[in-house]
Amino acid sequence: MATYCLTVARLQLALGHGIRRLHVSALQSNVNTVLLEKLNRPLTLSEKIVYGHLDSPADQEIVRGRTYLRLRPDRVAMQDATAQMAMLQFISSGLPKVAVPSTIHCDHLIEAQVGGAQDLQKAKEVNQEVYNFLASSGAKYGVGFWKPGSGIIHQIILENYAYPGVMLIGTDSHTPNGGGLGGICIGVGGADAVDVMAGIPWELKCPKVIGVKLTGTLSGWTSPKDIILKVAGILTVKGGTGAIVEYHGPGVDSISCTGMATICNMGAEIGATTSVFPYNHRMRTYLEKTGRADIAALAEEYKELLVPDTGCEYDQLIEINLNELKPHINGPFTPDLAHPVSSIGSVAEKNGWPLDVKVGLIGSCTNSSYEDMGRAASLAKQALDKGLKCKAKFTITPGSEQIRATIERDGYSKIFNDVGGVVLANACGPCIGQWDRRDVKKGEKNTIVTSFNRNFTARNDANPATHAFVTSPEIVTALAIAGTLKFNPETDYLTAPNGEKFKLQPPTGDELPARGFDPGQDTYQHPPSDGTGLRVDVNPQSNRLQLLEPFDKWNGRDLEDLQVLIKVKGKCTTDHISAAGPWLKFRGHLDNISNNLLIGAVNVENDAVNKIRNQLTGEFGGVPDVAREYKRNGVSWVVVGDENYGEGSSREHAALEPRHLGGRAIIVKSFARIHETNLKKQGLLPLTFADPADYEKIRPDDKISITGLKTFVPGKPLQAILKHSDGSKETIELNHTFNETQIEWFQAGSALNRMKELQK
């Protein structure tokens, strides 16, 4: 058995955009005897990396799926929408500087409207106050700042900060993208990031490990995206919860480094803690091509430590033969509804889904690499050579300034423009709802196909009637050219303007640019060595930024007569709890963004959205309006929900908002991992029905008392007394996953309150 411990070194690497400080773990082959004695078994790759970052191995109990680990991540990354609240919380902590290398990435606030340059300029004007806050707070507290136009956080991390063996946390659910370079990169809420930036050990429930063994070789129309689309169909949106997905087997070597990143990125859609690939020559080449030959050499020296041990065991094993894997397309409305591309047309006809493809969109953090762009461009070029342009609208989102500059230099951008496409800004754009879409009216039933990761109802364009399908950039491009879901590029023919019938040949594209990357514009601001003299101003009259006030502490008593605010029916993602799109501009202002609380959730009482009964007046109103009315009248409340509550984004606003507006507990059948932790961090009680059937016992007008809090300890259920309006009562049992530290967060009112208590 091989394992390793990590010693931290700092390298300065001269990259194309200037000098950036990277936090690099020097991997050492000496065996950690403490872990050897504890485990005495072969380790998976993810175990090597995770356990190699333990704060105190000698004191740590390690049981997959049960114990909590105290870890020391190497780095923190934050995108601009979540960085606002994370930095506001860090400012509230009173600490002078971050304890680990950290960066802010401006990618979420740029709305797609016309094209890259115009949209970027408008974003800089509209969001100037927020960008100034992030840049100045980064400078003051030692955080690097990637300016708007730099690119999408996960692509920037892959190009600059990820490396084999790193443990990185990011305030975005698709942080696992870095697993494509052999790192353990985990999405978290802002409060978790504050812990790490403050130098406090970070807690994570010891993950189970799901193994995905790949055999065979990718070829033809099949792409890396098809692997994760297939896995999503197998595991569903919650099948990976509490686990790391670890890919291995001979098929790995047929996947590019950025292709591996695509697979890891979309692992968020199965609820996985993260995903990771073993080190191989594709990673070495990528590191070298992105200016990190020193790290590649170090990884080569210790490569036997960057793969799973022979004989290691997985909690679940999935096997996929890449020789047999066919192109997939998943959706609509959920990323785990998997279909082979060959059958989607007939399935759509059967289900009444619109067949005409209105828009094809490629890019996003999931699929915006040089290889992705090249393979899509090869198809567009074939169509152009026959005199065809796209029948559907077609948009292209480069993942970074480096990708944008390189595809422009190498002619891909011209091909996209010539085929009828529009190259958007280097940002998230339509993937997260930042899309000023005008080709259909809201409520108009239509189909779009994307190479994004999520396709929840109304996510991309705020239209609940849009049927969004997720697939590879290659398939998106082919369907945009054909204009219909009924087109199978493996077998079907297109018709040229001269009447000639022709088939698209399978896509081709270089894994990496032969002439190297063009770095484009320098978009990075390194923090000064000493920022103590700098000021970070927040205007009290601002509607975009608001300094935080601490939440109230637990009063030492059971929670009595909590009003049910809403009993949610069916799927309730973080998009339903705290919508994105136009609401992104309020991510730094807790009170203003709380006006979107649960406006997308379906009320079981009337099957309506954002229409609940105010139990004080008997009248119906919007969810946030009723919550505010309850708060003004001193009425605390509870939300009741279904399975996998909080699925999707890492946005902690979905936990901050209910806490701010008077919520005390969220009671559901099951939680998504990140959201459950976010709720705990803000002093709320995330609780699950011991018997899921008890969901049916709760009525929308119930009052609920939660008892047992005076003896609140790990592993001991709480009780809920349901008081019905007819005078009857029922008692049910509620489970929780709190450990001792997390109970202290609840008692203090929040994790941030507890941090400040410990500083005294």
CA distances (Å), origin 242, targets 8, 173, 352, 674: 28, 14, 36, 10
- Using alpha carbons, select from 635, 631, 627, 630 the residue that is nearest to residue 599: 627
Does the annotation mark 701 as catalytic?
Answer: no
Percent pLDDT > 90 in the chain is 91
For residue 162, the tally of other CB atoms under 10 A from its CB is: 31
Q: Helix H segments across 171-320?
A: 190-197, 224-235, 257-265, 281-289, 293-301
The C-alpha atoms of residue 162 and residue 177 are separated, in whole angstroms, by 9
Q: In 3-state terms, what secondary structure has residue 620?
A: strand
Beta pairing class for 18-27 and 6-15: antiparallel
Q: Indicate the pLDDT class of residue 32, thresholds 50, 70 and 90.
A: low
pLDDT at 433: 93
Angle between helix 281-289 and helix 257-265 axes, rounded to 10 deg:
100
Q: Indicate the pLDDT class of residue 24, thresholds 50, 70 and 90.
A: very low
CA 118-119-122 angle, 5° bins: 85
The C-alpha atoms of residue 395 and residue 200 are separated, in whole angstroms, by 43
Q: Which of 13-27, 275-289, 591-605, 739-753 has the lowest mean pLDDT?
A: 13-27
The C-alpha atoms of residue 492 and residue 531 are separated, in whole angstroms, by 61
- Tell me the two tokens of residue 27: 């991997």
Mean pLDDT of all residues in 723-744 = 97
- Using alpha carbons, select from 479, 490, 492, 465 the residue that is nearest to residue 352: 465
In the set 17, 53, 74, 107, the catalytic residue is 107
Dihedral angle, C-alpha 289, 292, 297, 303, nearest 10 °: -90
- Tell me the two tokens of residue 320: 């996929």
Does the annotation mark 108 as catalytic?
Answer: yes
Beta bridge partners of 339: 329
- CA 106 to chain CA centroid, Å, is 15
Q: Indicate the pLDDT class of residue 8, thresholds 50, 70 and 90.
A: very low
In the set 92, 649, 650, 670, the catalytic residue is 649
- Tell me the two tokens of residue 327: 């192109």
The C-alpha atoms of residue 188 and residue 207 are separated, in whole angstroms, by 15
- Using alpha carbons, select from 386, 368, 346, 370 the residue that is nearest to residue 476: 368
Q: In 3-state terms, what secondary structure has residue 116?
A: helix
Asked whether the bond before 73 is cis by omega within 30 degrees of 0, the reply is: no
Q: Decide if pLDDT at 9 tops 60.
A: no
In the set 17, 20, 72, 108, the catalytic residue is 108
Contacts of 337 (CB under 8 A, 6+ apart): 233, 330, 331
- Using alpha carbons, select from 484, 625, 640 the residue that is nearest to residue 562: 640
- Segment 627-643, tens digit of pLDDT: 999 999 999 999 999 99
The C-alpha atoms of residue 172 and residue 81 are separated, in whole angstroms, by 9
Q: Decide if pLDDT at 20 tops 80.
A: no
In the set 651, 653, 664, 675, the catalytic residue is 651
Average pLDDT, the chain: 93
pTM: predicted TM-score of the whole model, two decimal places: 0.91
Does the annotation mark 591 as catalytic?
Answer: no
Q: Decide if pLDDT at 758 tops 60.
A: yes
Range 436-452 burial, b when 16+ CB lie within 10 A, else e: ebeebeeeeebbbbbbb
The C-alpha atoms of residue 4 and residue 309 are separated, in whole angstroms, by 12
Does the annotation mark 309 as catalytic?
Answer: no
- Segment 236-288, tens digit of pLDDT: 989 999 999 999 999 999 999 999 999 999 999 999 999 999 999 999 999 99
In the set 72, 174, 454, 673, the catalytic residue is 454
- Using alpha carbons, select from 158, 159, 21, 162 the residue that is nearest to residue 101: 21
Q: Decide if pLDDT at 648 tops 90.
A: no
Percent pLDDT > 70 in the chain is 95
Is 30 or 634 the better-scoring residue by pLDDT? 634
pLDDT at 617: 97
The C-alpha atoms of residue 292 and residue 287 are separated, in whole angstroms, by 5
Does the annotation mark 107 as catalytic?
Answer: yes
Is residue 355 within 8 Å of 488, Cβ to Cβ? Answer: no
- Using alpha carbons, select from 319, 232, 307 the residue that is nearest to residue 272: 232
Mean pLDDT of all residues in 447-453 = 98
In the set 74, 80, 119, 172, the catalytic residue is 172
- Segment 81-92, tens digit of pLDDT: 999 999 999 998
- Segment 734-748, tens digit of pLDDT: 999 999 999 999 999
